[in-house]
Amino acid sequence: MSMLSEDTDVKLHIGGELRQIHPETETIIDVFNEIGEDGVPVKRLVHGNRRLQPEPAVEREVARAKARDHEFHSIDAFCAYLSRECETLSSLVLADVDSERMRATLDESDESDREFVQFVATTHPLFRPWLGLVDTSTPVLDFALFAMRYRSAIIQPDGRELALTFSQIKSSKTITKKSGVGAKTLNGVMVETVIGSERHEVAVELPERMTICVPLFLDTDPVEVNLDLLVTDTPNGIVVFVAAPSLQEAKFQAFGQFVETVRKQTELLVGFGRVRERDWNLIR
């Protein structure tokens, strides 16, 4: 400790009075204004050492792995992954028939980080050609060739006879369309051919519907789909319009097989619907 008079203008050299600084320590110098015993103001200089507190360790920022959003095309692999990663009581699987997808939330109760995994149904190769035919107009000869090529999928009427029937319409010289109401009316066409010098008219009854039986998706059983046939004459020739009013019902039936498979293999909560997300609205 050193005592200095307030009126003394002297440079204080305290280097010799300070102890050598040791590692992990620091020197402290404090100056106090005090009144001496004789009533004269003096300054009291106090110096010392104290140990430094260790600096907190700086943690290196670690890059976070990207969020996962796996997409499965195999229902068995999808179920195996859910069984391994999901919490049975806090996971949810929703199936959406329109988008042909199933989406799973691995931990629905997690408030900060939720992982989604989805299954996307794959159209079966046997059904893909028929799907391209639905809701389109096809020239009658092209339709006859299509029916002949894929006749194994047609269960009603006979696929070969159906193809031959429509091929006759294209090969005819003159065609008269017949339609009406009642028991004695004919829904079809009248085909007129010329053999030598004689004309012959043959009535051809056209089927208004045919039924195919194919699996709609991979890993599903075959289902029956009814296709309505409308034959009409256009400026570009006779065409066949194909409609499938029961296709949505058949898809629902086929997709239900996926839902049952997930229920049996995972024991999770599975239902039909869509996963929705929105921001929280805080009420203060």
175-204 tens-digit pLDDT:
555 555 444 444 455 545 443 444 555 556
Provide the pairing of β-strand 101-105 with 116-120.
Answer: antiparallel
Question: What average pLDDT does range 228-254 have in this prediction?
Answer: 86
Among the ranges given (51-55, 183-187, 249-253, 261-265), the one the predictor scored with the smallest mean pLDDT: 183-187
Confidence label for 227 from pLDDT (cuts 50, 70 and 90): very high
Residue 251 is classified by DSSP as H
pLDDT of residue 212: 93
Nearest alpha carbon to residue 209 among 193, 197, 220, 225? 225
108-126 tens-digit pLDDT:
666 666 778 889 999 999 9
pLDDT of residue 184: 43
77-101 tens-digit pLDDT:
999 998 888 877 778 898 888 888 9
Q: How far, in Å, CA of 164 to CA of 151, rounded?
A: 11
Q: Which helix (H) or strand (E) holds 272?
A: strand 269-272
Q: Which positions ≥6 away from 229 have C-beta within 8 Å?
A: 206, 207, 208, 209, 210, 240, 241, 242
Whether the CB-CB separation of 29 and 39 falls below 8 Å is answered with no
Q: How far, in Å, CA of 260 to CA of 88, rounded?
A: 16
